[in-house]
Amino acid sequence: METVAGDGNWKLTFRREPDHIVLLRAVTCDSRAVLPGELLGLPVTVLGDHALAPNAAPVPGEELWVTCGHQGSWDNRTLEDLTLPPCLEEVGDYALYGCLEMHTLRLHDRVERWGGGCLMNCRALRAVFLTRVGKTHGEALAFLCDELHEELDVTVYETDGGVTRLVFPDFVEAYEENCPAHHFDYTIYGGGHAYHHVFRDRQLSLRDYDGLWGKYLGEEHEPETALRLAWLRLRWPSGLSREAEERYWQYLKGRPREALLWQLSQKDIPGLRLLLDGLQPGPELLGAACEQARRDRDTEALALLLERRHQTEPAGFGKRFEL
């Protein structure tokens, strides 16, 4: 097996085509791994069937060992964060089957074919980072939301440099046996089903996404998920209407403490400044936030909070003059 230096560690089996590479097997010992975008001067455009499945059988093909010197257990079961090649156009059947610990997937919006069961048993997958490559949306996000029922935190990097960040709440589909009638009843639990299907011709509709807000609050949902959904739309307001903006702010103003303390955990100073401007918290809440920032040793956030607290205190507050 030929060995080359790289930024990560991979044992690769591939097939060379005239203008691209088909990656047949890929095994890593890294918990955070980036699949090579190019091999032998050719772009990697196809991820073969069972390519990263931990239990996949060996297949014939050219072999290459990419290494940066790190040693560990060569088993994709420990893979947590995966970046797919930027020119990838096709993902084969069961390509990521059984990557049980993978919680983050990073990819470009070029994939045109997703194989059957390619994300089966990827039960930990919660975060997706998607880079747009054209003026129109590809089908990657529509596929992922349709395939995965768990809550997804999606960050989209737009072609104009903008960022859109969305939460797709979870839901459960259940078939329950109705014995007397001898059939199964189909039931959906949770308010996230509509969010996972807010696509028209496989294109994301932000207007429809925001239009689900009232219905979502009226269904079974997690308050923490609703809080993050509302705040992320305000923090990255791509396509956000004035009416939707007001609804989201109304929700957060009813839960200022939860919103402020969660935002502190994000280590996002511009976001914290925006949230403070919108909530206009009083001295008591600012004091609680200052204590949290001190515990977290977040000096930048603490400085901002102390400045806002000083601005909310009446002139002469805490001062005493005696003759």
Q: Residues 223-272: pLDDT tens digits?
A: 999 999 999 999 999 999 999 999 999 999 999 999 999 999 999 999 99
Q: Is 25 helix (H, G, I), strand (E, B) or coil?
A: strand
Query: So what's the pLDDT on residue 174?
Result: 74
Residue 181 confidence (pLDDT) above 70:
no
Segment 180-204 mean pLDDT: 83
Q: What is the DSSP string of 168-210?
A: E---EEEEEEETTTTEEEEEEESTTHHHHT-EETTEE-HHHHH
Question: Using an 8 Å Cβ cutoff, are 53 and 95 in contact?
Answer: yes
What CA–CA distance (Å, rounded) separates 239 from 244? 10
Say what the pTM is. 0.90
The stretch 181-196 carries a mean pLDDT of: 80
The CA angle 191-234-228, to the nearest 5 degrees, is 40
Rounded to the nearest angstrom, the gap between the alpha carbon of residue 306 and the centroid of all alpha carbons in its chain is 32
Q: How far apart are CA 170 and CA 221, in angstroms?
A: 9
First-residue to last-residue Cα distance in the chain: 89
Taking only the tens place, the pLDDT of each residue in 260-288 is 999 999 999 999 999 999 999 999 999 99
Residue whose entry in the numeric block shows the structure tokens 């969305």: 166
